[in-house]
Amino acid sequence: MNPFHPAPGALPERIVGREPELSAMREAVRRAMAGSPPSPLVVIGQRGMGKTVLLRELRELGGAATLAVPLEVVSGQPLAETLREKLVRLTESVESLPIRVGRAFDAAVHAIPKVSYELPHHAGAIALSGAGDERSKPEDRTLAMLGALTDAARAAKRYVTITVDEMQDADAGAMQTLVRFVHESAQGDAPVLLACAGLSETYALLERLRTYVQRWPTFELRLLTPSETIEAIREPIVAARAHIDENALDELASESAGYPYFIQAYGSAAWEAHHGKRVTLADVRASLSGVRARNEASFYVRPLAKLTPREMAFAIALAELGDGSHEMRAVAGALGVTAPDLSSTRASLVRKSIAAVPIPGRIEFRIPFTDRYLCAHRGEYETADVRAYRAGLARRSAKPRA
């Protein structure tokens, strides 16, 4: 069986290079199991860096001791609605809740049409009533559902784990409600373990929440080091009772460049190409072109095809500055304009998910290695229209200002 899992959010055979995050998660779970208030956790990183994997690992660490509620923020859908959907499905994953737990849910999830869920092993049922007041505030309904959830967990002698993915898309009001509930739960006998993950824009949302949120442990995921990358490739292969030649290992590590998603994608392709119990350099090279083409099409070609000449000129200027985030004035300087001149272009690149604004005044590509790809394929993207746009900027900047 292929030991690599390139599907988004899939747990790898082993999580490598994330020991600070895992250590904080294990400590939070330990405290929750002991009935002590765990510290909420925040994980921030670009696409494909393993944020969703870490949230899933946190839920797995709790095992049967927790009632886990994974929430993924959907733009345009209220958090209360997402929470209701999860509570409806919660009974499908619960093996032995006592009958009295049903009364806790029945008292709170009043906005859902009445339906009864039979629990496995003759453990009783959870009834979700539809007799509540639809005019109640979303905040009140959310607090009622969260209270029911902790009541259910207490009755089942478990603790509650809530994970929020894609936090950058959450509305501040809903997050304020959730944060306040978790904070207040820490002062009672049913503390809630909360962990959130999101893109770099999450920093802006955190600043809008309550001041004590600034004290939560926050981890910014980085690319893996060369040695960690080699470990992340070798260990699953060894665990599958196979061997990988050193030159093949070096080639895969170089190609994936420490990007967790690429490690899984290139590793998976090399495994599929190998025969017997040994992955060779020939296997790796036979698989590279196909997986590279798929990755480039998914991560770069299709998104960049949506850009106008004005946006492409901005993207190329940003790529020329290299990896990481850069000041807007640096991009503007490369184009011969001022930072305010580029505000609308920056906004459109953010809307098209090409760029992100980690903090005010700075900009970065949303997908790792976009700069590397653009620089390597500059001839394809710097079309006559893009060159004409840059030439127009140069002429305008050369004119003396009045």
User: Do residues 193 and 316 both lie within one domain?
Assistant: no
How far is Cα 299 from Cα 370, in angstroms, rounded to an integer? Answer: 8
Q: What is the pLDDT of residue 402?
A: 52
User: Do residues 206 and 244 both lie within one domain?
Assistant: no
**Residues of the domain holding 236:** 226-303
Q: Which helix (H) or strand (E) holds 195?
A: strand 192-198
User: Do residues 37 and 87 both lie within one domain?
Assistant: yes
Collect the ranges in the chain with pLDDT lower than 70: 90-136, 398-402
Q: What is the pLDDT of residue 319?
A: 97
Tell me whether strands 115-118 and 125-128 are parallel, antiparallel or unpaired. Answer: antiparallel
Q: What is the pTM of this model?
A: 0.81
How far is Cα 234 from Cα 237, in angstroms, rounded to an integer? Answer: 5
On average, the pLDDT of the chain sits at 86
The tally of domains found in the chain comes to 3
User: Do residues 179 and 92 both lie within one domain?
Assistant: yes
Q: What is the CATH number of the domain that holds 325?
A: 1.10.10
Q: How do residues 110-167 score in pLDDT, each as one tens digit?
A: 444 333 434 333 433 444 444 344 546 778 778 888 888 888 788 888 899 999 999 9
User: Do residues 197 and 338 both lie within one domain?
Assistant: no
Tell me whether strands 218-220 and 243-244 are parallel, antiparallel or unpaired. Answer: unpaired
User: Do residues 208 and 346 both lie within one domain?
Assistant: no
How far is Cα 366 from Cα 351, in angstroms, rounded to an integer? Answer: 11
